[in-house]
Amino acid sequence: MTAIVKLKHVTKTYADKTVLDSVSLQVLDGEILALLGPNGSGKSTLLRLLAFLEEPTNGEISFQGITIDGRNAEQMRLQSSLVFQQTVMFNTSVYNNVAFGLKIRKIPKATYDEEVRNALRLVKLEGFENYPARKLSGGEQQRVSIARALVLKTKLLLLDEPTANLDPKNSGILEEVIATVNREMKTTIVMATHNMFQAKKLPTRIALIEDGRITEIGAPADVFGKLSKNIAGFAALENTFRGNASVTSEDTTLVDVGKGVKVEATGHCEGEVSVFVNPQDIIVSMDALESSARNVFKGTIVEIVDLGALVKLKVNVGRLFVVQITKRSFAKMGLNLNAEVFLVFKASSVQVI
């Protein structure tokens, strides 16, 4: 494969904060490249640079051999589409939302009508043309956003946490859409994610990014197969535990991570594995909730960190779990150090590596 985009020692600084630090990267034509890293690692900033919406503070970005600068950036933006994590739907039909970019480019309706319908087919929303876009579910709106980008037929499709805040069913549909678009349209896709399970199964290559630096890049099988120090370091920030897995009589996987803690996950795995749980997927309550969730643990708050609108808690349930809740929920529950709480999360939220 040839490189469609090249970054050479790219640094991006806002005021006194360096968000990207001397990043060198090649995006290969026709691949799906996942930028895997924790929140705040620089993934979204890198996507904005690849969309030519911002210029690097230092370093060089080239697209198909052409160096990007202030003179050609606007023209080059026509070659890439960025789908943001938070979807914005116009107050009109699905069809009009998808056709918006084509109307702006003054493409005749007779020409783009078929393109809109084909894009909706690719994202599995055939028959939704006349449906009010704002009445769709979150996962359906995200698919409309991708269709809106697809009709522009850009060389590069950029996705910022495309399945964040979606349930497993909608996440699975969206992942299938991404694979289909890449396969049928030969579109080069770069997607930011902190979902290690998604990064393991969907992309052609993974670039691990932490503190504004790319620490490792390679095929998913290589990166996850050796459980490198870099990925272990990233994972350790967000609830990763090593343990022994066995298949239960209910066709799930139970992983004994030690100290009396057993985590249940979907799928079938046996032997030594790592499990990962996103802090945002864990519900905190003062009482044991009546829930279908497979994982319920009682523990004690041992650390509290104020993150502005959010509060990060460390809870000892035998093993230490990190969770994030809103400051409003924190105050409403009257939480403090040494308070006893229950942690609840679904088996489908557990990623087995």
* Domain C-terminal end among 217, 233, 249: 233
Question: Are residue 250 and residue 304 in the same domain, yes or no?
Answer: no
Q: In the chain, how many domains are there? A: 3
Per residue in 107-143, pLDDT (tens digit) is 888 888 889 999 999 999 999 999 999 999 988 999 9
- Specify the pLDDT at position 280: 78
Question: Are residue 145 and residue 290 in the same domain, yes or no?
Answer: no
User: Chain-wide mean pLDDT for the chain?
Assistant: 90
Q: What CA–CA distance (Å, rounded) separates 59 from 49?
A: 11
Residue spans of beta strands (DSSP E) within the chain: 3-14, 17-28, 32-36, 58-63, 66-67, 80-83, 156-160, 188-193, 205-210, 213-218, 240-247, 253-256, 262-265, 271-277, 283-285, 295-306, 310-316, 320-326, 340-345, 350-352
Give bridge partners of residue 323 from the DSSP assignment.
Answer: 313
Q: What CA–CA distance (Å, rounded) separates 78 from 13?
A: 25
- Specify the pLDDT at position 128: 96
Tokens linked to 237? 């920030």
Sequence-distant (6+) residues with CB within 8 A of 40 are none
- Beta carbons within 10 angstroms of residue 81's beta carbon: 23
Per residue in 178-199, pLDDT (tens digit) is 999 999 999 999 999 887 777 8
Question: Are residue 42 and residue 168 in the same domain, yes or no?
Answer: yes
Question: Are residue 251 and residue 318 in the same domain, yes or no?
Answer: no
Q: Quick one: pLDDT band at residue 164, thresholds 50, 70, 90?
A: confident
> With 90 as the cut, is the pLDDT of residue 90 above it?
yes
Q: What is the extent of the structural domain holding 255? A: 240-275
Q: What CA–CA distance (Å, rounded) separates 313 from 229?
A: 25
Per residue in 215-257, pLDDT (tens digit) is 999 998 888 765 555 665 665 556 888 899 999 999 899 999 9
- Specify the pLDDT at position 342: 96
Per residue in 303-347, pLDDT (tens digit) is 998 877 888 899 999 999 999 899 899 999 999 999 999 999 999
Question: Mean per-residue pLDDT for 74-78?
Answer: 90
Is-above-0.85 flag for pTM?
no
Residue spans of beta strands (DSSP E) within 29-105: 32-36, 58-63, 66-67, 80-83
**Largest CA-CA distance found in the chain, in angstroms, rounded:** 66
Within-domain flag for 314? yes
